[in-house]
Amino acid sequence: MKCPSCGYNDSKVIDSRPTENRIRRRRECLKCKERFTTYEEIENTPLMVTKKNGSVEEFKRDKLLKSIVRAAANRSTIDTRTANEMVDSIVSELRNNFKDEVTSTQIGEMALRKLKDKDAVAYIRFASVYQKFNDAESFIKVITELSEDKNREQNIEK
């Protein structure tokens, strides 16, 4: 394992702990003594994504994570850890449904559900890109739907 600090190619494992679907390892560089964390994941059959244009490509976790992080930029409600947990949850849900192929629409809808529960602004940002808003009416429609949903939830709680 290459040290992220000095680039040396050898390290020793100090501690290993199983986490959900992966193993967390604390390592120490044998050259500079820097400590860092690595994760080992079980390699599954690749999850394939059918895009809106009909093309098929391998699911890229980082691509989804970047989209969520970008939507939540400058928002205090969704930090990197929360965004990673959201993506992990989506991936787990897809894997638990025993699917080898999923549509980009399904992934987008799952991300929207997660964002809606966490941050309305991030939800609107993500929706504007994912649903390709072309005009102000698209934003108004989504904001109105969010307001109505929030009002319904408040009435249920009362």
Cβ pair 139, 128 in contact under 8 A: yes
pLDDT at 44: 65
Query: What does pTM read for this prediction?
Result: 0.64
Residue 12 above 90 pLDDT? yes
Q: Where are the domains of the chain?
A: 11-41, 48-157
139 within 8 A of 124, measured Cβ to Cβ: yes
Report the largest interatomic distance among the alpha carbons of the chain, rounded to a whole angstrom.
62
pLDDT digits (tens, 9 = 90+) for 20-62: 778 999 999 999 999 999 988 876 678 899 998 999 999 999 9
The CA distance from 39 to 22, in Å, is 6
d(CA 52, CA 98): 22
pLDDT range class, residue 134, cuts 50, 70, 90: confident
- Mean pLDDT of the region 97-112: 88
